[in-house]
Amino acid sequence: MWLPLPPEEIEGLPEGFRYLFWDGGKDGEQAFPGDPAQCAMYVVPYMTPLPVRVRPLKRLTNVRVIQTLTAGVDDMTANLSSIAPGVRLCNARGVHEASTAELALTLTLAALRGIPDFVRAQQEERWASGFRPALADKNVLIVGYGPIGAAIEDRLTPFEVARVARVARSRRTTARGLVHATEDVLSLLPDADVVILSTPLTDATRGLVDAGFLARMKDGALLVNVARGPVVDTGALVAELERGRITAALDVTDPEPLPPGHPLWRAPGVLISPHMGGPSSAFLPRAKRLLVDQLTRFARHEPLRNVILTTGADPAETAPEGCGGTDPAGPDGPGTNGL
């Protein structure tokens, strides 16, 4: 079993397996800890460059499970041709909800209340007071209503928002109310003061937030992206920001990392964090619990959690609705902040 965390630091791992530590190393060229052909479960290193994460795939000829520590698995699904058939791909549902939802709320509040302006004023020793928008009484639209989207709504509840609208792949009703289907999103945008993206990156969501989507947002609305950068058309967003019609708070961008000189850095009304939705003190304890649970299930031949797909299987025979990424409803399924 290849683990990106030292096995001696994970309490409760089931006996009977040989645990090998591999996180790719600082330069990404760390030697494999053993023969990849003998690896039964590959836990993908977290927060490492894509070439590092996929480097072992073609040599994992007998792997049975690939477990990511991210909610999104778009990096793995883009490399399915390198993975042997019959491999179960699992995501890290349950690991990132708290941390990502916290950041979504932080970015929303910081952008609305003008925290970046206060920081700049402090650096200039300038007292810059005045009225700022509050989150209270705002209409919020959550696009991608799965575990992370629901966790975001949990944190919105005490802030006296006027209304929360929810969007997922398919229409359904939850204890909190109606979840709209993705095709309804354009009709919901004109009423939203804050639009929070927590949907994964899939063929259905790539470029979802395009010029037409942004044009439907009301004047002065805030776009918050804790999903994946390519869910948003960056050029279209920059154009709207430069017109000053909307504002944005982005934990993810396209491209990413955002290179020096990119117009998004200096676009007016934008707050950018460097893809920090997942990496917080909440990550390690939840990641360790997930790994112990999955490995225990594997040892006992019990069904694994969070199975997104089985390579080589008919898509209709893979994970049922509810197993994927950030949204149990499907194309909001395997995917967010890269997280």
Is 52 strand, coil or helix?
helix
Closest to 201 measured CA to CA, from 310, 333, 96? 333
**226 near 107, Cβ under 8 Å?**
yes
**230 near 208, Cβ under 8 Å?**
no
**Per annotation, catalytic residue among 96, 180, 262, 275:** 275
Residue 32 has, within 13 A of its CA and on its CB side, a CA count of 17
For residue 73, the 8-state DSSP code is -
Residue 120 identity: R
Closest to 189 measured CA to CA, from 156, 153, 141? 141
**What's the rounded Cα separation, in Å, for the pair 241 and 304?**
44
Helices (H), 86-191: 97-113, 115-123, 147-156, 185-188
Q: Which residue has the tokens 């509840």?
A: 157
Element (H, E) at 307: strand 307-310
For helices 97-113 and 115-123, give the axis angle rounded to 10 degrees.
Answer: 60
The Cα-based distances of 55 to 20, 24, 59, 62, 89 in angstroms read 16, 9, 8, 15, 16
Closest to 3 measured CA to CA, from 59, 36, 37, 44? 44
Decide: residue 99, CB within 10 A, 0-12 exposed, 13-18 middle, 19+ buried.
buried
Whether 96 is catalytic is no
The size of the chain, in residues, is: 339
Active site residues: 275
